[in-house]
Amino acid sequence: MKWMRILLAAAPTAAAVHEASVAGIQGLARRLFQGRDAQFEFELTREHENWSRWNVPDNDNYTVSSSNGKIRVQGTTLSALARGLRHYANDALKMDEHWFVDTVYKLPDRLPLPEEALTGASTVPWRYNLNTVTFGYTFVWYSWSDWEKLLDWAALRGVNLQLAWVGYERIFLDSFLQLGLAQDDILAFFSGEAFQPWNRFGNIHGTWGPQRRLSLAWIDQQFALQKKIVARMVELGITPVLPGFPGFVPAALKTLRPDADVVDAPAWVDVPANNTATAFLNPTDKTYAELQKLFIANQVEAFGNVTNVYTVDQFNEINPKSGDAKYITDVSASTYAGITAANPAAIWLMQGWLFYSSQGFWTQQRVDAYLAGPPGKNDMVILDLFSESEPQWQRTRSYADRPWIWCQLHDFGGNQALHGKITNVTQNSVQALRESPSLVGYGLTPEGYEGNEVVYDLLLDQAWQASPIDTADYFRTWARNRYAGSGTIPEGVFSAWEQLRQHAYDVRDNVLPSVGVSVYQLFPALEGLANRTGHWPAPTALQYPPNVMKNIWHLFHNASLDAPGLLQVPAFHLDFVDVTRQALGNAFADIYTNLVDEFQAGANATVIRDLGKSMLSFLKDLDTALNTDAHFTLKQWLDSAKSWGESTSAPEDVAFNARSQVTVWSTESRLLDDYAAKAWSGLVRSYYGKRWGIFIDGLVRAREHDVALDEKALGDKIRQFEVSWQYRGYNSETCDKAQDIQQVAKSLMKRWPAAFA
């Protein structure tokens, strides 16, 4: 009895349990409302468990009202409570919190009570976020402060299922050490910091160029960061999707387990031969189950029992060794058996990208065979990764009626052109929900987040609307809340966003399926660069008349003059520079076309030299314009990388990785060059501009000597420069002193009237 009394006395009260359960949402309110969280009270209206194959999720709902002088937020889940907070901020305070920039607003000491109850209900139980490769293109150098901002952004929009892939290498290392593999053999398997997603996919292994092996310091620091990320996700009601073991292994496993069924996966694109054709352990082998159990058990020990959802992608742009249906089913069944042996409630989440990227291999029979592996309908969830442009759910019969998530991919490699498919996002997603009973969520799966934030908000908000969102009203309200704190917003700002909505953000066909690039970001050539369409190589064609962007630019510019306070709002400043970037990028296509036309028409060396000088001067001015906002600088990317490099005692390795990912990847490959092209000050000046300078010199010399242009020799010279820049950077870490965007805009209009007229 004594022990019973002690246990009862120690047991927390229901109120204490509730307070602890909503502590993360209380913290979110504290950050969002500048320390005024005591003015809120939160109530969970039902118990919630981790999603498992035995626990089919329901839709969420929330209500925000007033009670005894406080703002009362009630919701079915923590995610619903977080979504309710954003609804209140949008409605009562006409403000929003964004990801890429800080929001500037002054709040009253006493927050206003809701004038009437604010309610919301999701139309899908799951709102998913992130692509596996986003952890390379966008997140590789993220610090905790970056992640904290991202997680708040996601929670406020109702995200409740998100990939958590930071620090995977520590789990991998520990699991293989426990199996008996030597540490040096495991470290030799890992790729560089900026290329880890493709290492995890089995596309590549090892490092190249001057980089040494991935440092243990990096592995440990990333793992420590992952612990903070996962803990915060749980606090905010975001179920972490943790990595399972897909089957890719260090080659040394063949020696440790000579009887194991290990084969080399197919080579991936054209990276160096020594870095692809990664060893793959057949999931039917007993060693696979052993490793899967270690992977999951080590994560439970590190993070707690926080999820039942595990991501495993085995055939990302590489096909199985056999197309035999039985073999494919056996691989899938054994993979799932390995996951559930470690966690009986587990759900396997996989990207459906393979069914699009390798359609020639993944016939309907093979799709069905792979999806037939897990025995129960709810054992697997598939991300229809590119739903807004290349949906696969129809041809796969809603992925054999398994749960699936409608996703907006939108951006490849972190390219930055203004682009969206808002009609597809709002109408097609709702139509899919009506037609496919197994659709369980909407999700964001961009390869990189570099801008275009409105299209990501739109899809996550569509998850809380039964009918397609009225995008005209949405864009106006979104812009108003985005520029909160600026005072009166000129009507021209809303006109600019309306034109953006109608043109840049409402592409309705697949001629331009994703975010594009500008011609100046591409390897110089006489043909094949302008007006390019399709997914890859990246499109350069515009989905609107060029004068549209010029008009949008003038609306932003005039607004900055009419209401100078707007430029003190970081979001408006970023957007004005972004539109300036787009207008100048569009104009470069005309400068390039004029140069090529003159050369091919036989213009003499003087004409080509003068046109070339003008082109290089234009790029220098573009670099100056980009340097007015830190978001558009190579320096920010490199400084973030350096901070990790210095803390891991590998600054040169990290800098090489950072430069490589946004330019040429490996010196032995060409296909991935400029895939992750960026409009960044420093990169334009020291890399793109230098390439075009070499190209122009080649054209001039051909005319001076009256000989045909040797494009191969010229290309080789440009490639020599690329390698030199990749290895040494040509002082690319430094930029000219940042100037004021209004002064730069004034100069641009004077120097390049055709770009804005």
pLDDT value for 55: 80
pLDDT value for 18: 59
**Cβ–Cβ under 8 Å, residues 669 and 272:** yes
Q: CATH top-level class for 22-121? A: alpha beta
pLDDT value for 8: 29
Alpha-carbon distance values, 344 to 162, 234, 243 (Å): 21, 21, 16
Q: What is the pTM of this model?
A: 0.96
Assigned fold of 126-477+487-492 = TIM Barrel (3.20.20)
**Cβ–Cβ under 8 Å, residues 307 and 239:** yes
Stretches where the chain sits below pLDDT 70 are 1-20, 48, 730-735
Q: Each residue of 372-393: pLDDT tens digit?
A: 999 999 999 999 999 999 999 9
Selection from 197, 192, 97 nearest residue 148 by Cα: 97
Q: Where are the domains of the chain?
A: 22-121, 126-477+487-492, 517-536+543-633+680-755
**Cβ–Cβ under 8 Å, residues 397 and 372:** no
pLDDT value for 731: 60
| CATH topology agreement for domains 22-121 and 126-477+487-492 | no
Grouping H, G, I as helix, E, B as strand and the rest as coil, residue 633 is: strand
pLDDT value for 738: 86
In sequence order, what DSSP letters do the residues of 228-251 get, joined into one string? HHHHHHHHTT-EEEEE---SB--T
pLDDT value for 348: 98
pLDDT value for 20: 59
What residue has token string 């042996």? Answer: 341
- Alpha-carbon distance of 17 to 736, in angstroms, equals 55
Tokens standing for residue 496: 């600019």
